[in-house]
C-alpha cells in the first residue's frame, strides 16, 4: 500500500534529520487537495517542536530527504506551510502494477492462526427457503469468503430447525390429508411438498378456530381448543418421548426436505462445512438449563416452567423450559453453542441472523455467561435488515412468501430473455454455453443487488433494476470483465515487459491506483462485516476501466511500450474484478 510505503519513508526521514523515533500513528497522511500539485500530503506539524524549525522548513527538509533517499518513490514535492505535498513517481506505480500482475492471490492476507465460525441459513424443515433466506445465505457465505481473505480460518455452519411444534404441524397435515403423497409421486421438490402441508395445516386450523368462535368461544380459547392444535402438541410430546412411529415419520419427511434444501443451496452457490440439527442439540441445552436451575442461575415457577430473571441486566424474564418440559429456541441455542465450542477451537463466533432477533442474542450471550461458558460475552450477532419485493411480485403459490427457487428461476429467465440477442451474436455459441451465461448473469444480478446494500438496512429488491447492463449491477460488472477477456484473447498469450514504460497517462494512473486499494478494501470489509464495500469497489473499478477503454486505444496503440502496459493493466483489472466478485459468491462469464 502506498500509505504504508510513505509512512515507512517518513519515519526514516525524521529519524535521519531530527533523531525522532516516530510511530505510525504520528504520521498523518491525506490525499493532496486538488488546488495543489501532488498525490499524497504529509502533515509535518507533529515534528516541528522536536526539529525546532518553522513548519515550512521542516516540510521542505523532509521532502528533499525523501526525494533523495526514496529509491524512486517520490518524483517531486512542494511544501506549503506545514504540509508536504508529494508526487508519486510513475516508476513506483508501474512497479506496483508488476507486483499485482505477478500475484496469484492478490488481496489475500496471511493466515492469522485464528478460527472464526460463521452461522447462516438456519432453515425450518416445515417449508422451503424464501427471500429472507436468500439474503441470509448470500450475506453469510460472502462474509465467510471475505474473512478467509483476511487470514481467518473459517468454518461455515448451519443450524437446522428440525424439531418443534411447527414441524409437527406439517407432519400432522400430511398424515391427515396427504394420502401417501411423496416428492416422486407429486413431482415436487421435497421442501416444497412439506411446505404445502404446513400451509394446509394453517388453513384447516383457521377453519376449526372459526367454527369454535361461531359457537361462542373467545378467540384465545379457540386457538388452544382447536382439535388440530391439540393433536400437534400431542405429537410434539410423543416426539420428545421417542415414539417410534412419530420419529420414523419425522425422519422420512425431513429427508425429503433436506434433498430439496441441498438442491437450492447448490443453485444459490453456498455451502457449509458443518451442519448442526436442533434435534441433536436441544437435549444438551436442557441439561445446561437443569444445571443452571440447580446452581440458582434460573428458577422454576409453580406451573413447572423454568425461567431466567434478567431484570438486573435491564431485560425481562425469559422462558427456558415450558411447563410440560419441552424446550424453546433459547434452550436449543444454548446446547448448540456448547457443542460448537467443544467441536472447534473457536476464536470468534458470528451469527448471521435478521435484526428482529437482536434481543434473542443479547439474552443468549448473558445466559451463556451466567452458565459459566467463557465464550458467552464474545458472541457476535451480525444483524441484517429485511428484504422485500415491490408490489408483491414473484410470490409463491401460498401467497405469503417469496420462494427462493422461484426467485432464482425468474432471475435466470429474465437474464436469458434480456441477453439472448447479444449472446446469439457470439461466434460458435452452443445452447449449453448460452444457458450457462444466462445462469451466471441471472444469479449475479440477484446476488449483487442484495449484497450491494448496507446489510444493516432494510432493502427493496427490484428484479428489473438488478439485471440492467448499464447500472450499478452484477451484469454490468460481468460485462466489463467479459469485454476485457475479449481484448486479452485478441492480444494473444505472451509475457509482456512493462518495466520500460514511462509517463503514465491520467486514466492509466487512476486505474493502477484503484487496483492498489483492493487489499485495504478487503480488510475494511472484513473489519465491518460488509460485502457492500466489495460491491462498491468492484463497481467503481469497472467504471474506471470503461472510461479508460473509451478514451485510450489498447490493441491499436502504436507505441509498443504503451501497448504492453495497457494489455497488462487490462488483465490486472480483470483479475481483481474476478477476485472481488468471487468474495461475493459471483461467477464471471468469459464472454457475453
Question: Considering the entire predicted model, what is its pTM?
Answer: 0.91
Q: Of 54, 88, 122, which one is at a domain's C-terminal end?
A: 88
User: Please, what is the average pLDDT of the chain?
Assistant: 93
544-567 average pLDDT score: 95
* 3-class state of residue 468 by DSSP: coil
Q: Of 88, 118, 148, which one is at a domain's C-terminal end?
A: 88
Q: Grid coordinates 429485511 are at which residue?
A: 386
Q: Which three cell numbers stand for residue 71?
A: 529509491
Taking alpha carbons only, the member of 177, 168, 194, 174 closest to residue 258 is: 194
Report yes or no on 458 lying in a domain: yes
pLDDT value of residue 63: 97
Give the containing element (helix H, strand E) for 121.
none
Report yes or no on 426 lying in a domain: yes
Report yes or no on 357 lying in a domain: no
Report yes or no on 127 lying in a domain: no
CA atoms of 428 and 431, how far apart (whole Å): 10
pLDDT value of residue 461: 83
Q: Grid coordinates 427457487 are at which residue?
A: 405
Share of the chain above pLDDT 70, in %: 98
CA atoms of 268 and 178, how far apart (whole Å): 30
CA-only gyration radius of the chain, Å: 30
CA atoms of 408 and 386, how far apart (whole Å): 18
What domain range includes position 75? 2-88
Residue 502 has pLDDT above 80, yes or no: no
Q: Of 32, 65, 88, which one is at a domain's C-terminal end?
A: 88
Task: Note the pLDDT tens digit of each residue in 558-585.
Answer: 999 999 999 999 999 999 999 999 999 9
Helices 560-582, 90-102: inter-axial angle, 10-degree rounding? 50
Task: Note the pLDDT tens digit of each residue in 299-326.
Answer: 999 999 999 999 999 999 999 998 888 7
**pLDDT band at residue 36 using 50, 70 and 90 as cut-offs:** very high
CATH code of the domain containing 472: 1.10.730.10
CA atoms of 118 and 115, how far apart (whole Å): 10
DSSP 552: S
Residue 134 has pLDDT above 80, yes or no: yes
User: Cβ(452)–Cβ(476) under 8 Å?
Assistant: no
Q: How many domains does the chain have?
A: 2
Q: Which three cell numbers stand for residue 5?
A: 510505503
Residue 522 has pLDDT above 90, yes or no: yes
CATH code of the domain containing 25: 3.30.1360.70
pLDDT value of residue 81: 92
DSSP 111: P
Q: Please give the full DSSP string across 372-398, using - where no structure is assigned.
A: T-TTGGG-EEEEE--EE-GGGTT--TT
Residue 465 has pLDDT above 80, yes or no: yes
Bridge partners (DSSP) of residue 124 are 161
User: Cβ(197)–Cβ(180) under 8 Å?
Assistant: no
Alpha carbon distances (Å) from 284 to 54, 106, 281: 70, 44, 5
CA atoms of 91 and 535, how far apart (whole Å): 30
Task: Note the pLDDT tens digit of each residue in 412-441.
Answer: 999 999 888 777 788 889 999 999 999 999
Report yes or no on 415 lying in a domain: yes
37-62 average pLDDT score: 95
Report yes or no on 256 lying in a domain: no
Report yes or no on 453 lying in a domain: yes
Q: Which three cell numbers stand for residue 245?
A: 412411529
Percent helix, percent strand, percent coil in the chain, to nearest 5: 60, 10, 30
**pLDDT band at residue 400 using 50, 70 and 90 as cut-offs:** low
Q: Which three cell numbers stand for residue 300?
A: 422454576
pLDDT value of residue 447: 97
CA atoms of 45 and 550, how far apart (whole Å): 43
Q: Is 550 exposed, middle or buried (0-12, 13-18, 19+ CB in 10 A)?
A: exposed
Q: Grid coordinates 489475500 are at which residue?
A: 108
Report yes or no on 539 lying in a domain: yes
Residue 399 has pLDDT above 70, yes or no: no
Residue 504 C-alpha from the chain's centroid: 36
Amino acid at each position: 500500500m502506498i500509505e504504508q510505503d510513505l509512512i515507512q519513508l517518513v519515519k526514516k526521514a525524521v529519524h535521519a534529520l531530527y533523531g525522532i523515533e516516530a510511530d505510525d500513528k504520528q504520521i498523518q497522511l491525506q490525499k493532496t487537495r486538488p488546488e495543489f500539485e501532488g498525490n499524497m500530503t504529509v502533515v509535518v506539524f507533529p515534528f516541528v517542536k522536536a526539529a525546532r524549525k518553522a513548519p515550512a522548513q521542516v516540510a521542505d527538509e523532509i521532502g528533499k530527504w525523501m526525494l533523495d533517499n526514496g529509491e524512486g518513490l517520490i518524483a517531486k514535492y512542494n511544501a506549503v506551510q506545514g504540509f508536504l505535498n508529494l508526487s508519486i513517481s510513475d516508476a513506483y506505480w508501474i512497479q506496483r502494477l508488476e507486483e499485482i500482475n505477478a500475484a496469484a492471490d492478490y488481496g489475500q492476507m496471511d493466515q492469522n492462526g485464528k478460527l472464526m465460525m460463521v452461522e447462516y441459513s438456519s432453515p425450518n424443515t416445515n417449508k422451503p427457503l424464501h427471500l429472507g433466506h436468500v439474503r441470509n445465505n448470500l450475506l453469510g457465505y460472502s462474509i465467510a469468503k471475505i474473512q478467509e481473505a483476511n487470514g481467518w480460518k473459517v468454518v461455515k455452519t448451519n443450524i437446522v430447525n428440525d424439531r418443534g411444534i411447527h414441524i409437527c404441524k406439517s407432519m400432522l397435515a400430511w398424515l391427515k390429508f396427504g394420502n401417501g403423497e411423496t416428492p416422486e409421486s407429486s413431482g415436487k421438490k421435497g421442501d416444497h411438498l412439506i411446505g404445502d402441508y404446513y400451509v394446509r395445516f394453517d388453513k384447516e386450523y383457521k377453519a376449526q378456530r372459526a367454527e369454535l368462535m361461531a359457537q361462542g368461544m373467545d378467540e384465545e380459547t379457540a386457538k388452544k381448543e382447536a382439535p388440530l392444535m391439540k393433536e400437534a402438541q400431542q405429537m410434539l410430546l410423543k416426539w420428545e418421548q421417542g415414539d417410534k412411529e412419530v420419529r420414523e415419520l419425522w425422519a422420512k419427511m425431513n429427508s425429503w426436505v433436506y434433498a430439496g434444501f441441498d438442491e437450492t443451496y447448490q443453485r444459490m452457490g453456498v455451502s457449509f462445512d458443518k451442519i448442526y440439527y436442533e434435534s441433536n442439540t436441544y437435549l444438551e441445552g436442557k441439561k445446561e438449563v437443569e444445571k443452571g436451575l440447580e446452581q440458582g442461575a434460573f428458577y422454576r415457577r409453580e406451573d413447572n416452567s423454568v425461567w431466567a430473571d434478567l431484570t438486573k441486566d435491564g431485560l425481562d424474564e425469559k422462558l427456558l423450559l415450558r411447563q410440560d418440559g419441552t424446550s424453546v429456541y433459547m434452550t436449543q441455542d444454548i446446547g448448540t453453542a456448547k457443542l460448537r465450542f467443544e467441536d472447534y477451537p473457536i476464536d470468534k463466533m458470528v451469527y448471521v441472523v435478521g435484526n428482529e432477533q437482536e434481543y434473542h442474542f443479547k439474552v443468549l450471550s448473558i445466559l451463556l455467561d451466567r452458565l459459566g461458558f467463557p465464550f458467552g460475552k464474545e458472541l457476535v450477532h451480525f444483524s441484517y435488515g429485511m428484504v422485500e419485493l415491490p408490489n408483491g411480485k414473484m410470490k409463491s403459490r401460498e401467497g405469503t412468501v417469496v420462494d427462493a427457487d422461484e426467485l432464482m428461476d425468474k432471475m435466470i429467465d429474465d437474464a436469458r430473455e434480456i441477453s439472448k440477442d447479444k449472446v446469439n451474436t457470439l461466434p460458435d455459441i452452443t445452447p449449453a454455453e448460452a444457458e450457462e451465461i444466462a445462469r451466471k448473469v441471472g444469479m449475479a444480478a440477484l446476488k449483487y443487488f442484495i449484497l450491494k446494500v448496507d446489510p444493516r438496512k432494510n432493502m427493496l429488491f427490484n428484479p428489473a433494476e438488478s439485471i440492467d447492463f448499464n447500472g450499478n449491477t452484477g451484469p454490468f460488472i460481468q460485462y466489463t470483465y467479459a469485454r476485457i477477456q475479449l481484448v486479452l484473447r485478441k492480444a494473444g498469450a505472451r509475457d509482456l515487459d512493462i518495466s520500460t514504460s514511462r509517463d503514465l497517462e491520467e486514466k492509466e494512473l487512476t486505474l493502477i491506483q484503484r487496483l492498489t486499494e483492493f487489499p485495504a478494501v478487503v480488510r475494511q470489509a472484513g473489519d465491518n462485516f460488509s460485502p457492500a464495500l466489495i460491491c462498491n469497489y468492484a463497481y467503481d473499478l469497472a467504471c474506471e476501466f470503461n472510461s479508460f477503454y473509451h478514451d485510450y486505444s489498447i490493441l491499436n496503440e502504436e507505441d509498443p511500450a504503451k501497448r504492453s502496459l495497457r494489455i497488462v493493466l487490462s488483465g490486472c483489472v480483470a483479475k481483481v474484478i474476478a477476485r472481488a466478485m468471487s468474495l461475493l459468491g459471483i461467477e464471471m462469464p468469459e464472454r457475453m
